Amino acid sequence: MIVFICGGSKSGKSSLAQNISKALSKDNPLYYVATMIPSDAEDKEKIRLHIEDRADMGFDTVECGTDIVTVLNTTDKNGTFMLDSVTALLTNEMYGDFGNIGVDIKAEERCIKDIRQLAETVNNIVIVSDYIFSDAEIYDESTELFRKSLADIGNNIAIYADIVIEMNFGNATVHKGKDIYETIL
Amino acid sequence: MELIIGGAYQGKIQYAKEKYNLTEADIHICDSVEIDFSKKCVADLEKFTFSCVQNNIDAVEFFKHNRHLWSDKIVICCDIFCGVVPMGAENRKWRQETGRLCQYLSKEAETVTRIFCGLEQKLK
């Protein structure tokens, strides 16, 4: 089962993803694939809150900031994986080491290929991404490339995902796979 | 008129091409105050409104007075309405004017479809 959840900041994406992952995992291993590489105290605090939020849910946390397929080296592919988030993964793949102002234009292509490979290898995966596509700001070229790449990756996942969910203020709109979704939660 | 809206890069034009069997030649991509209404589809309407703001043209009035030009078209506009209020006065006016136009077109449209990650959501 492949589930894709996309929504704005603090929309409840991760909470829903945790619940779906838990429901899908049954007795098999449950992995939280953490993609954010903390760069400051703010990131660390955000991570701490997420860890607190999923405490006692039975997740094994696997940290993987780039080359997402490598999580398979240390996990059981029969498990259920919660990938949180595509946004952080793309950030790491595109901007590389912090402080490097150049962008890797191959990042999008790599993310599309790697996420698909991971999704089609594991038993269940719940993929979380951010929705940053409906504002009236005019961005610099690098930020615009990031927005386009994140959208392209999401649109690609939506093609092969069994379920596609948009989150708004904790409410889920199921754009694809409504019948399957209702059997899970 | 069929109105298609959705965030940036969500696959709105691709959706229109598949749904209405359009080719590139059927689509006018806005980039100024001029729209080629001989085409079946008018896309990037937000770029038309941006030019209107720059040239002091009332986009809503233009559409109201030229119904015959677009009443059988497919119109595509980007949803630019969910971010923070833009810092620049021109961008604020752009968002405002695009919103007014979308509300008008939404009322006039036979169907309104929102595209999310390439998937359609019927709004009207």
pLDDT in tens, A74-107: 999 999 999 999 999 999 999 986 556 688 989 9
Partners of B84 on chain A (C-beta within 8 Å) are 135, 137
Examine the pLDDT at A135 and tell me if it is beyond 70.
Answer: yes
Indicate the range of A28-42, A86-100, A136-150, B36-50 predicted with least confidence: A86-100
Q: Can you tell me the mean pLDDT for A5-21?
A: 94
Report how many domains make up chain B: 1
Give the Å distances, CA to CA, from A136 to A30, B30, B60, B94, B99.
39, 17, 19, 8, 11
- Assign residue B29 the CATH number of its domain: 3.40.50.300
Token pair, residue A108, equals: 């999008």
Token pair, residue A160, equals: 């092969």
Question: Which residue in B has a C-alpha nearest to residue A6's C-alpha?
Answer: B117
pLDDT score recorded for residue A99: 59
SS3 per residue for B53-69 = HHCCCCHHHHHHHCHHH
* From B8, B80, B86, residue closest to A151, measured CB to CB: B8
CB spacing of A134 vs B8 below 8 angstroms: yes
Q: In this complex, is the C-beta atom of B89 within 8 Å of any C-beta atom belonging to chain A?
A: no
CB spacing of B8 vs A157 below 8 angstroms: no
Q: In this complex, is the C-beta atom of B12 within 8 Å of any C-beta atom belonging to chain A?
A: no
pLDDT score recorded for residue A97: 66
Token pair, residue A56, equals: 């006692």
Examine the pLDDT at A37 and tell me if it is beyond 90.
Answer: no
Q: Domain span at residue A172?
A: 2-184
Return the closest-CA partner of residue B76 out of B109, B41, B24, B32. B41
Kindly indicate whether the ipTM for this predicted assembly is greater than 0.90, answering yes or no: no
> In Å, how far from its chain's centre is CA B45?
3
Q: Do residues A129 and A85 touch, judged by C-beta distance below 8 A? A: yes
Interface list for B 42-61 with A (CB within 8 A): none
CB spacing of B117 vs A173 below 8 angstroms: no
Q: What are phi and psi of A23, to 5 degrees?
A: -65, -35
Q: Domain span at residue B58?
A: 2-82+90-122
pLDDT score recorded for residue A59: 95
Question: Which residue in A has a C-alpha nearest to residue B119's C-alpha?
Answer: A175
CB spacing of A133 vs B119 below 8 angstroms: no
CB spacing of B117 vs A147 below 8 angstroms: no
Examine the pLDDT at A185 and tell me if it is beyond 90.
Answer: no
CB spacing of A175 vs B9 below 8 angstroms: no
Report how many domains make up chain A: 1
Question: Which residue in A has a C-alpha nearest to residue B117's C-alpha?
Answer: A155
Q: Sorting pLDDT into bands at 50, 70 and 90, what band is A138?
A: confident
Residue in A6, A115, A135 to test binding to B, most B beta-carbons within 10 Å: A135
Question: Length of chain B in residues, anyone?
Answer: 124
Rounded to a whole number of angstroms, the distance from the CA of A137 to the nearest CA of chain B is 6
Could you read off the pLDDT tens digit of each residue along chain B, which spans 124 residues? 999 999 999 999 999 999 999 999 999 999 999 999 999 999 999 999 999 999 999 999 999 999 999 999 999 999 999 988 888 999 999 999 999 999 999 999 999 999 999 999 999 9
pLDDT score recorded for residue A43: 87
| Rg over CA atoms, chain A | 16
Q: Can you tell me the mean pLDDT for A8-31?
A: 94
* Burial class (CB within 10 angstroms; exposed 0-12, middle 13-18, buried 19+) of B70: middle
- Assign residue A35 the CATH number of its domain: 3.40.50.300
CB spacing of B94 vs A136 below 8 angstroms: yes
Partners of B101 on chain A (C-beta within 8 Å) are none
Indicate the range of A32-41, A61-70, A125-134, B36-45 predicted with least confidence: A32-41
